[in-house]
């Protein structure tokens, strides 16, 4: 069974709930190696996304992703807004004209999202950014044979990837200003990426 526009709206709502539930955690992670706004930025962004999805009910998965992208780009400041915005925009373009997304489409969307983040932020794996969650997620997702499996594999790998950012020294973003002192802390963007993917995976598993 594929993922329709309606299913995707359900997944985005779940992602917004997760971001709200983990707002303080993300603020605290960002306070240690950044400026403490990551949880607030994302919570505000996803609240605006929910409002935008209420206003106009997008009629294709691609249109849902595009609404998410444009809302995040316009409402979320900092590094993460444009990065997540670009990710959703590229994902939207990757599934253009599809009424329902199958596993290959979801994989294509995740791959495009990673491509967008890398094109925009120029981070490589190991730089202690959201790429450290998204890159292993995309690699693991390729083995999935259903939408639920693709997303479960992605979420599992993203969680491991986020955990693996703890010992790293940041080479991109605000945390890189701390140099060696950025080590021993989880990257907030890698954590939020793992949370978003877990929310999508849980909806797909229903």
Q: Name the residue nearer to ligand ADP (CB basis): 146 or 174.
A: 174
- Measured CA to CA, the distance from residue 42 to residue 197 in angstroms comes to 14
- Measured CA to CA, the distance from residue 81 to residue 201 in angstroms comes to 22
**DSSP secondary structure code for residue 175 in this structure:** G
Which residue of 12, 14, 83, 94 would you call a contact of ligand ADP, by CB under 6 A? 83
Q: Name the residue nearer to ligand ADP (CB basis): 101 or 164.
A: 164
> Contact between 132 and Mg ion (CB under 5 A)?
no
Residue window 55-74: x/- pattern of binding to ligand ADP, with contact defined by CB under 6 A = --------------------
User: In the bound complex, what is the minimum distance in angstroms from residue 43's beta carbon to Mg ion?
Assistant: 13
Residue written as token pair 């199958």: 102
Q: Which does 59 bind (CB under 5 to 8 A by kind): ligand ADP, Mg ion, none?
A: none
User: In the bound complex, what is the minimum distance in angstroms from residue 187's beta carbon to ligand ADP?
Assistant: 5
| Chain position whose Cβ is nearest to Mg ion | 34
Residue window 186-205: x/- pattern of binding to ligand ADP, with contact defined by CB under 6 A = -xxxx---------------
133, 194 contact by CB (below 8 A): yes
- Measured CA to CA, the distance from residue 107 to residue 94 in angstroms comes to 10
User: In the bound complex, what is the minimum distance in angstroms from residue 45's beta carbon to Mg ion?
Assistant: 13
- Judged by CB under 5 A, the stretch of 27-35, 108-116, 138-146, 162-170 that binds Mg ion is 27-35
Q: Name the residue nearer to Mg ion (CB basis): 27 or 114.
A: 27
Q: Name the residue nearer to Mg ion (CB basis): 17 or 35.
A: 35
**Rg of the Cα atoms in the chain:** 16
Residues that bind ligand ADP (CB under 6 A): 30, 34-35, 37-38, 41, 78-80, 83, 117, 121-123, 129-131, 172-174, 187-190
């Amino acid at each position: 069974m594929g993922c329709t526009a309606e299913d995707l709206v359900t997944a985005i709502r779940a992602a917004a709930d997760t971001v709200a539930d983990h707002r303080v955690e993300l603020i605290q992670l960002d306070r240690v190696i950044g400026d403490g706004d990551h949880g607030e930025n994302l919570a505000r962004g996803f609240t605006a996304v929910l409002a935008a999805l209420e206003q106009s009910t997008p009629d294709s998965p691609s249109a849902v992703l595009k609404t998410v992208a444009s809302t995040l780009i316009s409402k979320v400041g900092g590094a993460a807004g444009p990065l997540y915005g670009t990710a959703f925009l590229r994902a939207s373009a990757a599934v253009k004209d599809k009424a329902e997304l199958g596993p290959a489409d979801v994989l294509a969307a995740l791959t495009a999202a990673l491509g967008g983040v890398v094109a925009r932020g120029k981070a490589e794996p190991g730089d202690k950014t959201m790429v450290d969650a998204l890159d292993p997620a995309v690699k693991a997702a390729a083995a999935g044979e259903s939408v639920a499996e693709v997303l479960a594999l992605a979420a599992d790998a993203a969680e491991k990837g986020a955990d693996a950012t703890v010992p790293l020294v940041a080479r991109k973003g605000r945390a890189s200003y701390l140099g060696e002192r950025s080590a021993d802390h989880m990257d907030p963007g890698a954590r939020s990426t793992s949370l978003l993917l877990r929310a999508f995976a849980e909806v797909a598993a229903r």
